[in-house]
Amino acid sequence: MIVSALCNNYVNRFKKKDKDIFARAERIIYTDEKNGNVCREIDHFVHFYQELEIDKNTGVQLILNVPIECKNRKNCESFSFIEEQKLDIPYNFIISSTMNGSEYFKNLIDSMSIFSPLKPSLISILEIENGKNPKKTFDEQIVYNAGTSLYDFIQFDLAQQQESDNDNTIVNILFKEFNKYLSQEHYAWWSVFRDWITNNISNAVCDDYNKAVFKNGRIYYGITAYLPLLCINGPIYNVKLDSKMKINGFKPVKFVLHQIRKKGWPMDIEMNVLINSLDSPIIITNPYGLLSTLKLISEWFKWMRHIILNASTQQKRRWPLESAFFRTAYLFYVSKEKIGKRSDLNIYNYSL
């Protein structure tokens, strides 16, 4: 009840300040055919939405979904140990669209810099009696189970996205040229994909493609972002460690970043996802930090909107053909391969 009231109060205040953005808070119940149509529930769900006119051809339906799982445990306190590792792209929150593969869509990576104060951390949840006496760690996998439940919903939701039609004469001709180039040079397609597009697809060809696809009318494309939250009762602390890795203090915080590794992620939806990672991020907060967390998330929505609207004319002109070409390459090369993944050899990050 507390989390529901906090979400509704935040949304109501937000709508009064930003009337151009639609926002709502509610509970979500859904059924998934892959799991026998069993009813599943997301405890709370905050949703932001705005339609944007980009140019004469393109409109964007910008969506940010915040699924929230709530866990209530007696006398629990959470302790965050920051992971001291440097990642190439540490903020790999989910942004998905059929516009993926284009330089225009790639710009949204920069929006994740708003989370730069957050560092990936390991979480330990303890039962502490009267705030003083540690009794035990919770033996259930609270964070992992909540995270996998949230990502189950994200997978379900992304599977509903409409696919784009890539069957176009211009795309097919270009792809034959690209395939011929690969046969001659023996490169992996993803290692030269971006450079080949830049050097071989002219603006004039992009204009011809746009005329064939848009026919002097605007088409709206969805960009959907997700930020899963776990809201757990009890305080959260960052653990301070000295040079010898001994604990020398605790700092109360409103939210922390944690990453889980969900079996099968990202499965069938990876073609549309901007950054594919084997680590799946979630933010952990509590009722005291929830409003600050939602404020940060809504600022992320505004920053994505700013990037989408203020991209270069060149990128807006070229994205439709770049995206269609990427999807054609993906469907030809990747969907036929049944291979595993390595974190240092991610074809999507190379194609960025």
Asked, as a colleague might, if the bond just before 266 is cis with ω within 30 of 0, I would say yes
pLDDT of residue 177: 94
The span from the CA of 69 to the CA of 149, in Å, is 8
The span from the CA of 154 to the CA of 174, in Å, is 34
* Residue 259 banded pLDDT, cuts 50, 70, 90: confident
Q: According to the per-residue pLDDT averaged within each range, which of 83-87, 112-116, 309-313, 337-341 is highest?
A: 309-313
CB 308 within 8 A of CB 60: yes
For the chain, give the mean pLDDT: 85
The span from the CA of 206 to the CA of 57, in Å, is 12
Token pair, residue 294, equals: 């939602």
**Is 265's pLDDT higher than 90?**
no
Q: Could you give the percent of the chain with pLDDT greater than 90?
A: 43
pLDDT tens figures, 305-349 = 999 999 999 999 999 999 999 988 888 887 666 556 665 555 555
Q: Which residue has the higher pLDDT, 117 or 306?
A: 306
pLDDT tens figures, 133-188 = 677 776 568 888 899 999 999 988 888 775 666 568 889 999 999 999 999 998 88
Q: Could you give the percent of the chain with pLDDT greater than 70?
A: 86
* Residue 54 banded pLDDT, cuts 50, 70, 90: very high
What DSSP string runs through 19-74? TTSEEEEEEEEEEEGGGTTEEEEEEEEEEEEEEEE-SSSEEEEEEEEEEEEEE--T
**Is 300's pLDDT higher than 90?**
yes
pLDDT of residue 162: 58
The full set of domain ranges for the chain reads 2-351
pLDDT of residue 163: 63
When pLDDT is averaged across residues 83-96 and rounded to a whole number, the result is 70
User: In angstroms, what is the C-alpha Rg of the chain?
Assistant: 22
CB 269 within 8 A of CB 41: no
pLDDT of residue 350: 47
Three-state SS sequence of 224-267 = EEECCEEEECCCEEEEEECCCCCEEEEEEECEEEEEECCCCCCH
Lowest-confidence segment of 91-100, 289-298, 340-349 by average pLDDT = 340-349
Q: Which residue has the higher pLDDT, 263 or 88?
A: 263
Strands laid side by side in the 76-82 sheet: 133-137, 121-129, 76-82, 236-241, 247-253
pLDDT tens figures, 10-35 = 999 998 888 889 999 999 888 877 66
Hey, what long-range contacts does 137-142 have (CB within 8 A, 24 or more apart)?
138/73, 138/76, 142/71, 142/73, 142/230, 142/232
pLDDT of residue 200: 93
pLDDT of residue 310: 96
The angle formed by the CA atoms of residues 78, 81 and 82, to the nearest 5 degrees, is 130
